Amino acid sequence: MKEKFQHIINNQTLFTTLRRDLHQHPEIGLEELRTSNIVADKLRSWGYQVHRGMAKTGVVGTLKVGSGGKTLGLRADMDALPMQEQTGKSWSSRTDGKFHGCGHDGHTATLLCAAEYLAKTQHFNGTLHLIFQPGEELLYGGKLMLEDGLFQQFPCDAIYALHNMPGLKKGHFYFKTGAMMASSDTLHIEVSGKGGHGAFRKNQPTLRWWPARLCWRCKLSSPATSRRFLPPWSPSAACVQGKRPILSTPALC
């Protein structure tokens, strides 16, 4: 098996350097201009037909080998997170407030490594579509690519993707039937009310509607609420995130 993939082993330093370069230049969802340029240029240099523009910065590379009628898709995401890196690594982000904290730099480099290997060896018979998706982090980049006609233009008999998972054994792949990692949906709740000072709790209770307390209750009850609408054996997770602080200065309420 090692001999079969010796070409990848020989290029390990090349793609490690590429991954660290992507890590140093993170781009958030639907703004992956530099990243998609790198992806497209490398795919073209290896003989792929390159299609650009789906979901703004998406890239699809196609390679046909032999006369086989089957089509396989391989997908990776490219976007970073809008957060500050504090790892202290020598290849840390050079862009303030942007960080490949979810490892999509690794996903992109991994698929490019596979792209180079498959183009070099051509150990398949059929059509290969490599799909580089933008905007995975809560920006619905996959949905946007579908709306732009991804599978109408690039139909696949099967499609595969992977996600890194720090802590698992190096050099191993893990599979299971059913859900393995969570997807996410977005629910916006607007709470309207009237705040008030705690000193008026007894004398004027009807003057306050306490929106902050309702927000806290929504957050605390969300895990139990999600379980009410799913079978007991179905895996689920409820995470509530807020972007705006209710109070920006100390107060008594």
Residue 32: CB atoms within 10 Å: 31
- Radius of gyration of the CA atoms of the chain, in A: 23
CA distance 123 to 113: 15
Say if pTM beats, i.e. exceeds, 0.85.
Answer: no
The arithmetic mean of pLDDT across residues 95-115, rounded, is: 97
Q: List the structure tokens of 120.
A: 């070099």
50-77 pLDDT, tens digit per residue, is 999 999 999 999 999 999 999 999 999 9
Which class in CATH covers the domain with range 6-161?
alpha beta
User: Among residues of the chain, what percentage have pLDDT more than 70?
Assistant: 83
pLDDT, mean over the chain = 87
More confident residue, 48 or 219: 48
* pLDDT of res. 205: 57
- DSSP label at 28? B
Where exactly are the structural domains of the chain? 6-161, 184-243
CA distance 7 to 92: 28
At 227, is the secondary structure helix, strand, or coil?
Answer: helix
